[in-house]
Chain A
Amino acid sequence: NAGVTQTPKFRILKIGQSMTLQCTQDMNHNYMYWYRQDPGMGLKLIYYSVGAGITDKGEVPNGYNVSRSTTEDFPLRLELAAPSQTSVYFCASSYWDKGSGANVLTFGAGSRLTVL
């Protein structure tokens, strides 16, 4: 299994441009998430999805959109990029960890986005 795959790893955008961060997982997980991590900070939830066709806002959804047409894919769309969206973006999905008895988030490698 590849796990959670994010593309691109790095991207520089100009103010006002649009782009989509791709996320795909091959573990058949129903639950997927997008987080952002600002420098020196923890992760904040942008959007999440509990299954294909179902998405909901997290803590910091403004300026972003998501869709979930399949179980595998959960793309994050930035419509009008702003400098405040400069961050590292993590996609994640949940799995049941038998050892700990917890539903654990497994993360992608991250996408570093800079808006100039």
Chain B
Amino acid sequence: AQKITQTQPGMFVQEKEAVTLDCTYDTSDQSYGLFWYKQPSSGEMIFLIYQGSYDEQNATEGRYSLNFQKARKSANLVISASQLGDSAMYFCAMRESSFAGFQKLVFGTGTRLLVSP
């Protein structure tokens, strides 16, 4: 069974600094995908970034980048130039199966990021 592990319950960073949130995964599938979602205190889940297992380049989306190391089975989220609005819970997730658009995601337990002025 697929599993996502996020070992950092909480992280602190100062505004404008970069921060890395760790995510490791376990799967026997050759084809899989990894997602990061942000959950602010208001509770909604916001999609940030995606990395497919066959993608050769690390995914980037604005200030977010995904440091994908396939051999180590890690998919860390890097947030550059942190902003106060980045304070939130961050969840790593892996798609368990996919066909024709169907996505079944397995989530990690999350990392709470606090950005200080």
- Selected contact of B102 from candidates A100, A103, A106, CB within 8 Å: A103
CA distance A96 to B33 in the complex (A): 14
Q: Closest CB-CB distance, B116 to chain A, in whole Å?
A: 22
Is residue B35 contacting chain A, with contact meaning CB distance below 8 A? yes
Residues in A whose Cβ lies below 8 Å from that of B103:
31, 94, 103-105
Q: What is the size, in residues, of chain B's interface with A at 8 Å between Cβ atoms?
A: 26
The interface-forming segment of A16-24, A35-43, A69-77, A79-87 is A35-43
Is residue A68 contacting chain B, with contact meaning CB distance below 8 A? no
Chain A interface category by residue count: 20 to 34
Main secondary structure of the interface of B (DSSP, over half): strand
Is residue B50 contacting chain A, with contact meaning CB distance below 8 A? yes
Q: Closest CB-CB distance, B2 to chain A, in whole Å?
A: 11
Within 8 A of A (CB), among B11-44: 33, 35, 42-44
Is residue A30 contacting chain B, with contact meaning CB distance below 8 A? yes
Q: Which residues of A contact B (CB under 8 A)?
A: 30-31, 33, 40-45, 48, 50, 58, 88, 90, 92, 94, 96-97, 99-110, 112
A–B complex contacts, Cβ < 8 Å, 23 sampled:
A31-B101, A41-B109, A41-B110, A42-B4, A42-B108, A45-B104, A50-B102, A90-B45, A94-B101, A94-B102, A99-B61, A100-B59, A101-B50, A102-B50, A103-B102, A104-B103, A105-B45, A105-B103, A106-B47, A107-B44, A108-B44, A109-B43, A109-B44
